[in-house]
Amino acid sequence: MSVPRERSRDTVTGTAATVVARAVTAGGLGVMEPPADFAGMEIPAASALAHPRFAGSSQLADVASGVTVLGTGAKGEGLRAVQGALLDMGFALYGGADGRYGPDTARALRNFQVHAGLRSSGVLDAATLKALEALAPAPGSRGQSRALPSSFYAGQAVRVVIALREHRTFLFDPEGKLVDIFPNAVGTAATPTHPGLKVVRAKLDQVATEDAGARLWNDRHVFGARLLDLSWADGRRSGEELHGTSAPALLGGDVSHGCIRHANEDILVLHDALAVGDRIAVVETLQDPHLGVPVTVG
């Protein structure tokens, strides 16, 4: 995936509705400087749209002022701009930015609203649009301007943070700098993906991944292009994997038997970036208390 990137240490600081650090953007992935404390600045009330992705849209101006909300049946260039922002922030939107509100857009908005600490309605209202204004990257850039997770879990460096309820996967480089954000799909209520600290136990190439699919599910393509087998950090088998998918339209939802699915182009990036032994933090939300700045060992 060829995208401009600006890399810096990121740290989680609460919901996107309460900003507790200065946003740093330089034409690529938005990052945050570590905050001195957890006292934050509230996102302002609805006002004129200033973000270049959204400014100038009369459709979105009506949303920002509370005149209307965008839901079932909505269409327009303002909605297309919102869809583009969600895609660039790593939220699943299988239909792409087509300017039409449908089930994929509703799901992407719900996942963003979970991240932003808002009511998960799936419609674009004033509060959701203001949160997007505060968090969306500049036009032509990917990532997020602030409210990103730390690359440390319980004091240990991790290469990946998986946020289950917002259905996003955050990849860090070995120095703890954010590389990219990918949409995912996770376990159902009956077969959940379990939060906690895990490690990459094995990496399967395409042939081995297809063989595993044929052996376990009688479907060579069920695991997509690659598979990374996970264990718990203490060495116990987790029964979970990061893998690709033969059903990309289901990304963004709770649909798996506990594994974390990704688009095939994204699992290729993750497979190439990660090594056996790398740590993976799985959390319900980015407000998980285990995420934070590194612990200094004396």
Kind of pairing between the strands at 160-163 and 279-283: parallel
**Helix (H/G/I), strand (E/B), else coil: 188:** coil
User: How far is the CA of 112 from the CAs of 15, 106, 139, 285, in angstroms?
Assistant: 11, 10, 18, 11
Q: C-alpha 113: how far from its chain's center?
A: 12
pTM score above 0.85: no
Asked whether 165 and 254 are in contact (CB, 8 A), the reply is no
Domain 47-145 architecture: Orthogonal Bundle (1.10)
Whether 47-145 and 152-283 share one fold: the answer is no
Q: Which CATH superfamily is domain 152-283 in?
A: L,D-transpeptidase catalytic domain-like (2.40.440.10)
Domain extents for the chain? 47-145, 152-283
Kind of pairing between the strands at 160-163 and 152-153: unpaired
What does the alpha-carbon distance between residue 56 and residue 79 come to, in Å, rounded to a whole number?
13
**Helix (H/G/I), strand (E/B), else coil: 14:** coil
Looking at this protein, which amino acid is placed at residue 65? S
Angle, alpha carbons 7-12-18 (nearest 5°):
115
Q: How buried is 243 (Cβ within 10 angstroms: 0-12 exposed, 13-18 middle, 19+ buried)? A: buried
Q: Give the number of C-alpha atoms closer than 13 A to the C-alpha of residue 19, restricted to the C-beta side.
A: 20
Q: Find where tokens 């440390």 sit.
A: 152
Q: In a structure prediction context, what are the per-residue pLDDT tens digits for the chain, which is 298 residues long?
A: 333 333 332 222 334 444 322 332 323 343 333 333 323 434 444 458 999 999 999 999 999 999 999 999 999 999 999 999 999 999 999 989 999 999 999 999 999 999 999 999 999 999 999 999 999 999 999 998 788 999 999 999 999 999 999 999 999 999 999 999 999 999 999 999 999 999 999 999 999 999 999 999 999 999 999 999 999 999 999 999 999 999 999 999 999 999 999 999 999 999 999 999 999 999 999 999 999 865 443 3
What does the alpha-carbon distance between residue 149 and residue 135 come to, in Å, rounded to a whole number?
13
